[in-house]
Structure formats: C-alpha cells, structure tokens
C-alpha cells in the first residue's frame, strides 16, 4: 500500500513538472527559450535592396536585417549566433508554425488575417504600396491607369490583391516568387508595372535610377511587424521592447539612413508600437 502511494505521488509530481514546463516562459518553442543557447534562426528576404538582401559574397544587408540583429542582441544573441533563412511571402506563416525560424523580419505587414496565425511585435516601420515602372513609361501614373496592363507582384503578398479589389478588375496579374523576378520581367518588357510597398520599390530605383521610377502616391498603409509563432506573448513583449529601444537610442533612424538614405524615399517618423 505504501509503495503504491509513493508511485502515485511520484506520478503527480512528474505531471506537475510537465505542466510547469509547458507554462514557463523559457520553453524552447518560444523566442526567449530559443535564445537561451545564444542562437536564433531568423527569416528575412534576400531580394529587397535596402530592406533585406543577400549579396553575391553571401552577406545579408538591409534595414530589416539591422532590426533583426538588434532584437536578437537584446535577447542575448550576437550576430554570429544568427542563422539567416530566406522567407518568401508565401512561406512566412509556414516557417513560423513549423519552427523552421524563430522569428521573421521580412517587410511583413501586420494584418488581421495574418494575426490569426502569427503573433506580431511592432510595427517597426510604416510605408505604403506603390508602383514601379520603366523610366520611359508615360501611360501609367498611378493604379487608375492599370486597366489591361500586365502587373507583377509576389505570390502570397497582399499587394496585387489590393489592386484587384480596389482599383482595376481588368489587370493582367503576373506572379513570381521574388520581387527581383518581377523587376527583371519589367526591365525586359514582359510586364508593365510592379507593385509592392514603396520602400521596397525605392531600393530597386536606387540600383537602377536610369531605368526605373516610382509613379503616383502611396495608396495603402503598411505596418511592418516582427513575426513570431502564434501565442508567444513573452516573445512579443521582448521584441517590442527591443524595437522601442532601437527607436529611442537613434539606432533606428541611423539604420534607415545607412540602408535607404541614398534613395529619394523620404525617411518617415518612427511608428507607434501597438503590438507589444
């Protein structure tokens, strides 16, 4: 009898330990827990000049990259402890859900639909959707001129759908996996315009100022957030605090100047952090 009571007590203790581990803030499936060993895997874009780009020498650069490094450092993870993983628009939710990345900083717009699958911290940047055309283009001055035109955007993004929903129903939509593919198609004359956020498009203009230009005013408001696995509230609080510190110390503005300061894109004011 005493032996059975001892077994039951041991089982209860083990069960309580499992519950405590599941509720604790250092679970390895949370951002804070993942950072405990000094290593993190971060999802970024490889094809967005000025925001997130992988150079030919393998180094990743851009404002999103600098934000990711700052967040990681505030969690105790140095740059040499970060593994970068390309996260295209269609892959971001999947990578977070499967644990292939610990967090995502990839021009990731905060939307109500995405918040059903992702926990966001931020925003850390605000921009608006725009249009990129060839420098010699004269027939497109804004989204109202896209009727019958070939418009390129990236699979899984909200940009092309915004055009179809709010501006032109007769747009001939062309989708690729990367923005760089859209720009290549534009330069080759295979599409008439590319749409995504203006800050992303400005990076391509900065690379090809004699061949490309932005047209029209931004026609949406996009709020970029740090994407985390759904339900990681502690990780959100830590990431939001890191963004706020980056802004207050001036590192946020300096990172923008370093990465897109040479383009014609106007540096915006810091955003108000609402997801924290």
Q: Residue 191's domain spans which residues?
A: 129-215
Domain harbouring 175, CATH code: 3.40.190.10
Neighbours of 98 (CB within 10 A): 10
User: Does residue 12 lie within any of the structural domains?
Assistant: no
pLDDT at 27: 57
C-alpha–C-alpha distance, residues 222 and 247, integer Å = 18
pLDDT at position 266 over 80: yes
With pLDDT > 70 as the criterion, what percentage of the chain qualifies? 89
**For the chain, counts of helices (H) and of strands (E):** 10, 13
Residues 177 and 119 in one domain: no
Instruction: Write down the pTM of the prediction.
Output: 0.83
User: Does residue 265 lie within any of the structural domains?
Assistant: no
Number of domains into which the chain is organized: 2
Please give the residue that has the higher pLDDT: either 29 or 25: 29
User: Does residue 87 lie within any of the structural domains?
Assistant: yes
Residues 147 and 91 in one domain: no
Residues 141 and 123 in one domain: no
148 torsion bin: left (phi>0), alpha (psi -120 to 50), beta (else)? left
User: Does residue 144 lie within any of the structural domains?
Assistant: yes
Residues 118 and 40 in one domain: yes
Residues 35 and 123 in one domain: yes
User: Does residue 44 lie within any of the structural domains?
Assistant: yes
pLDDT at position 249 over 50: yes
For residue range 46-75, list pLDDT tens digits in order. Answer: 999 999 999 999 999 999 999 999 999 999
Residues 119 and 80 in one domain: yes
User: Does residue 23 lie within any of the structural domains?
Assistant: no
Residues 36 and 123 in one domain: yes
For residue range 164-222, list pLDDT tens digits in order. Answer: 788 777 889 899 988 899 999 999 999 999 999 999 999 999 889 999 999 999 999 99
pLDDT at position 39 over 80: yes
Neighbours of 182 (CB within 10 A): 27
Residues 42 and 179 in one domain: no
Question: Under a CB-based contact definition with an 8 Å cutoff, are residues 28 and 34 in contact?
Answer: yes
User: Does residue 181 lie within any of the structural domains?
Assistant: yes
pLDDT at 271: 97
Residues 91 and 110 in one domain: yes
Residues 41 and 112 in one domain: yes
pLDDT at 262: 81
User: Does residue 89 lie within any of the structural domains?
Assistant: yes
């Amino acid at each position: 009898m005493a032996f059975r009571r001892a077994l039951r007590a041991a089982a209860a203790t083990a069960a309580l330990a499992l519950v405590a581990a599941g509720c604790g803030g250092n679970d390895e499936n949370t951002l804070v827990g993942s950072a405990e060993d000094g290593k993190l895997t971060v999802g970024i874009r490889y094809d967005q000049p000025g925001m997130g780009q992988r150079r030919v020498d393998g180094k990743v650069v851009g404002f999103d990259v600098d934000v990711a490094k700052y967040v990681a450092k505030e969690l105790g993870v140095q740059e040499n402890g970060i593994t970068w993983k390309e996260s295209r628009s269609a892959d971001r939710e999947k990578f977070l859900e499967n644990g292939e990345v610990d967090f995502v900083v990839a021009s990731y717009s905060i939307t109500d639909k995405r918040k059903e699958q992702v926990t966001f911290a931020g925003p850390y940047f605000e921009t608006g959707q725009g249009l990129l055309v060839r420098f010699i283009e004269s027939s497109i001055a804004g989204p109202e001129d896209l009727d019958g035109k070939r418009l390129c955007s990236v699979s899984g993004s909200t940009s092309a759908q915004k055009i179809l929903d709010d501006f032109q129903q007769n747009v001939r939509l062309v989708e690729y996996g990367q923005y760089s593919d859209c720009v290549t198609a534009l330069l080759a004359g295979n599409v008439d315009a590319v749409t995504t956020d203006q800050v992303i498009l400005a990076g391509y203009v900065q690379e090809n100022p004699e061949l490309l230009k932005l047209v029209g005013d931004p026609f949406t408001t996009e709020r970029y957030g740090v994407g985390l696995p759904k339900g990681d509230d502690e990780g959100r609080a830590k990431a939001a605090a890191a963004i706020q510190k980056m802004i207050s110390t001036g590192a946020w503005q300096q990172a923008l100047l370093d990465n897109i300061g040479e383009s014609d894109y106007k540096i915006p004011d810091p955003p108000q952090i609402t997801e924290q």
